[in-house]
Amino acid sequence: MTDTLTPPPAAPAPERPEPTRPGVVSRFVGSTLLWPILALLLLLVVNVVATPSFLNVRIQDGHLYGNVIDIARNSAPVLLVALGMTLIIATRGIDLSVGAIAAIAGAVACTRLVGAADEGAVTTAIMACTWALAVCVLLGLWNGFLVSVLGIQPIIATLVLMVAGRGLAMLVTDGQITTVHNETFSDLATGYVLGLPIASLIAVGMVVAAAVLTRRTALGMLIEAVGINPEASRLAGVRARTIIWTVYVFGAFCAGLAGLIIAANTNSVNANSLGLWIELDAILAVVIGGTALTGGKFSLAGTLVGALFITTLARTIPNVGIPSEANYLFKAVVVVAVCLLQSPRARAALRVRRPAVSKGNPV
């Protein structure tokens, strides 16, 4: 038991939201962030009751090993996608195409790797990832163009790429499941730096960068302003179009990173299944985190908690002995529960039930 560190386990899990706290906590303490954190803690408690050693973290081969580390590593793709989605939803948009974009990113990276002269080299991996991310930025520009310039509803504008995207990914891989052999590339998902998984370092790094950018500059406020009323914010001198365009590019970039990590995890890409339904998980994470789909406000810390929650849930279900297929049922219950908790109507349901009419449909 000497190599079982009991104090550190508490450190990685509950304090994970720490990096984004300084700017956010003052705004979102109270009901929005409280419930997701409580739910996450509840899940961890359930796990500990089922398997007392659940939170244990061992050091093995110089890395940290354990369920908590696994959760952190597995949550990286969802967290990345949800990060981009948070900012998009804050502008009252939505991006359904992120799963397809992730598939395209994986497809481009893997085909570049296989086609390269020296498949195992470090530079090959870097070049492949750069290419993949460049393609993703292009796709983000396309989504942003449809939404901000042509003014098409976000849900339908991104539906175009969602439908066509997997076809494009199949086109890139020629319908094959492409397998790659590159150490650097697979380190993206399975490697460790300073004992911590690279994947979660990338994801948390992106969250911190986004938090600093949005909360330490006016950008976050501008994004929220656009979400509250694009026309009013434009008249107030905010470049609504540029901001909307930017968040879609950012969302696509994050989705691309997520796709690379997923592809690196299996060292292969299957354009049909890579990132399937990740957009739904990401939207779920965002909603759990307290960012309303009506736009106008967002919580990056909440998204972080939401992404961790979804991954922990996936881990919990087999851990407590329920077949993992039940995961979908639990997700459904969580969605409904979270929405009811956040719905002012549900809270006020005990009072006079007066049907207030919601204004328009944001999605």
Provide the binding-site residues for other proteins, judged by CB under 8 A: 94, 146, 150-153, 155-157, 159-168, 170-171, 175, 271, 276, 280, 283-284, 287, 293-294, 323, 325-333, 335-336, 339-340, 343-346, 349, 353, 355-363
Residue in 17, 15, 16, 30 with CA at minimum distance from that of residue 297: 30
Residue in 224, 220, 207, 234 with CA at minimum distance from that of residue 79: 207
Enumerate long-range contacts of 53-59, CB under 8 Å, 24 or more apart. 54/319, 55/9, 55/10, 55/13, 56/4, 56/6, 56/9, 57/4, 57/5, 57/8, 57/9, 57/12, 58/3, 58/4, 58/5, 59/3, 59/5, 59/195
Least Å distance, CB 172 to other proteins, is 10
Least Å distance, CB 152 to other proteins, is 5
Alpha-carbon span 245 to 257, nearest angstrom: 19
Least Å distance, CB 300 to other proteins, is 20
User: Nearer Cβ to other proteins, position 69 or 172?
Assistant: 172
Helix ranges (H only) for the chain are: 7-10, 21-28, 31-50, 67-90, 98-115, 122-144, 154-173, 183-190, 198-215, 219-228, 230-235, 240-266, 278-288, 300-319, 327-342, 344-347
Least Å distance, CB 312 to other proteins, is 17
User: Nearer Cβ to other proteins, position 131 or 330?
Assistant: 330
Alpha-carbon span 19 to 11, nearest angstrom: 13
Least Å distance, CB 317 to other proteins, is 11
User: Nearer Cβ to other proteins, position 52 or 355?
Assistant: 355
User: Nearer Cβ to other proteins, position 193 or 337?
Assistant: 337
Radius of gyration, alpha carbons of the chain:
21
Residue 3 burial by CB count (10 A; 0-12/13-18/19+): exposed, middle or buried? exposed
User: Nearer Cβ to other proteins, position 118 or 354?
Assistant: 354
Least Å distance, CB 27 to other proteins, is 23
User: Nearer Cβ to other proteins, position 350 or 357?
Assistant: 357
Least Å distance, CB 84 to other proteins, is 17
User: Nearer Cβ to other proteins, position 16 or 92?
Assistant: 92
